[in-house]
Amino acid sequence: MTLLAFGLYRSVVSSSGTPPFSACDDGVVARAVAAAAPGESPAAETELYRRFAPRVRLFGLKHLSDRGAADDLAQQVMLVVITRLRAGEIREPDQIGSFVLGTSRMMVAGQRRGERRRAAIIARFAPDEGTVEAAYDVALDSTRLAPCVAALRERERSIVLLTYYADKSATEIAAAIGSTAGAVRVSRHRALASIRECIEARRAS
Amino acid sequence: MTTTGTACPSFGELAEYWTSDITPADAERIEAHAFTCERCARMLEEADRLRAGIAALARSGSVQAFVTDAVLNQLARDGVRVRYYALNPGESVQCAVWSDDDVLVTRLRGDFTGVDTVDAELRLDSGDEWSNATGIPVPAGATELVMALPAALVRTAPQIPIRLTLRASGGNQQVLAEYVFNHEGALERAPSSNDRG
């Protein structure tokens, strides 16, 4: 099926020059990068970057706890991934997601060991990412979020503040407000669901 | 478009990823899924935006809430300018908000024995209700509740006494304590001699 899809991709490219990569599986996009001469499949590379750079950034945010470092990680990992795809070094392009995750894990582990940053790779192989949104809009618009947080019940508001602002665990929060860790988690889920609904409702109105 | 071989986690599960409660095994499971599922990757990003937004809101001093020392410590680390008051039951305080304040915090001391949640009501001397909060959690053994108000909100309050009443939630709404804020309004700091040209 993927070969068929790739064949379709080739035929669409040849007929219109505009491959519909956004509608393709990850594997199709990865194989398009691998099949082309280096730098000859900018649309596929851009699509791969668009899909995976945000995920690497999130992974970096979780493990490096720094938005700048997470942005750097996303760029470094995607450069390695695209470079290795171009070189035909990825044996299973259909598993590109796993490969990107594995590369992310290795790089974070490397950074933690104090490994040198890969600035030289970036300088040498940096693809043109001018068409890609490199940094996402981090925080929600406070004018939309504030009334939704204000609408929470006191207990839920305390829990989300302690979780996402003071970075406390459910166990610590339970001790602080006289509850149990399980009840804190339930309240947190409920609070987040309320906030999302509230934001959607305000967007719709 | 991406494909995935495992069931999508709920938004709540994905949001747990951003908490210190997530176990390494669960974090790995979510990561493995998000790297093969664009929809869940987007939800993970949405959860990140949400938590970043909540933190930014707190950091800006815009959240009215009953808080704990953990939140106050984080405000201090973030350089948020906090003005503190402390009141025992029946006490009143001359209070004002200054132009460079971000948050006003009041430690409301009292006897909360046998109470697990309280309701708070802030009423102007004119009789009009100014603000209220219900279901404020009270941990066992607590001797105070910590109320944080955005300075921007307090600046809008009229310059008259404001009475705060704490009641036990539910049932008989027993009054636990009352406090009075003699609100003197929003004050500007006089420029120092160094500020004058």
**ipTM rounded to 2 decimals:** 0.89
Kindly report, residue by residue over B25-39, the tens digit of the pLDDT. Answer: 999 999 999 999 999
Last residue of a domain, one of A64, A95, A125: A125
In chain B, ranges of CATH 2.60.40 domains: 65-187
> Would you call B1 and A61 a contact, using CB atoms and an 8 Å cutoff?
no
Name residue A25's beta-bridge partners: none
B85 contacts chain A (CB < 8 A): no
The answer to the question of residue A133 being in a domain is: no
**Quick one: A116 and A180 in the same domain?**
no
Q: Do B52 and A140 touch (CB under 8 A)?
A: yes
A25 and A69 fall within a common domain: yes
Q: B135, A154: Cβ pair inside 8 Å?
A: yes
The answer to whether residues A7 and A68 belong to one domain is: yes
Residue pair B45/B37 in contact (Cβ under 8 Å)? The answer is no
Quick check: B21 and A169 CB within 8 A? yes
Tell me: pLDDT of B122 over 70.
yes
Q: What are phi and psi of B136, to 5 degrees?
A: -75, 120
* Range B65-187: architecture per CATH: Sandwich (2.60)
Q: Which residue has the higher pLDDT, B64 or A121?
A: B64
A131 within a domain of the structure (yes/no): no
CA distances from B109 to A128, A181, B112 (A): 61, 26, 9
Q: Can you tell me the distance from the alpha carbon of B8 to that of A56, in angstroms, rounded to the nearest whole number?
A: 19
For chain B, the average pLDDT equals 90
Over residues B66-88, the mean pLDDT reads 95
Considering only CB atoms, which chain B residues are within 8 Å of A170? 19, 21
Q: For the residues A2-27, what does the mean pLDDT come to?
A: 55
Asked if A117 and A152 sit in the same domain, the reply is: no
Q: Of A75-84, A111-120, B77-86, B142-151, where does mean pLDDT reach its minimum? A: A111-120
Min mean pLDDT across B112-126, B135-149, B176-190 is at B176-190
Q: Looking at the domain assignment, is residue A20 inside a domain?
A: yes
pTM for the full predicted model: 0.80
CA nearest to A189 within chain B: B12
Whether residue A6 sits in one domain with residue A101: yes
A200 and A101 assigned to the same domain: no
- Min mean pLDDT across A118-122, A176-180, B5-9 is at A118-122
Domain that holds residue A89: 2-125
Nearest CA in chain A to B76: A166
Residue A117 has pLDDT above 70, yes or no: no
Looking at the domain assignment, is residue A137 inside a domain?
Answer: no
- Whether B190 shows a pLDDT value over 50: the answer reads yes
**CATH number of the CATH domain containing A190:** 1.10.10.10
Q: Residues with Cβ < 8 Å from A60, sequence gap 6 or more?
A: A69, A70, A71, A72, A73, A74, A104, A108
Residue B114 forms contact with A (CB below 8 Å): no
Domain end: A98, A125, A152, which one? A125
Residues A102 and A20 in one domain: yes
Return the pLDDT at A204: 82
Which one, of B131, B63, B43, lies nearest residue A146 by Cα? B63
Report the C-alpha gap between B65 and A107 in whole angstroms: 41
Per-residue pLDDT tens digits for A118-145 = 555 555 555 554 444 433 455 577 888 9
Q: Judge whether B195 is closer than 8 Å to chain A, CB to CB.
A: no
pLDDT at B30: 96
For tokens 């909540």, what's the residue?
A: B54
Q: How many domains would you assign to chain A?
A: 2
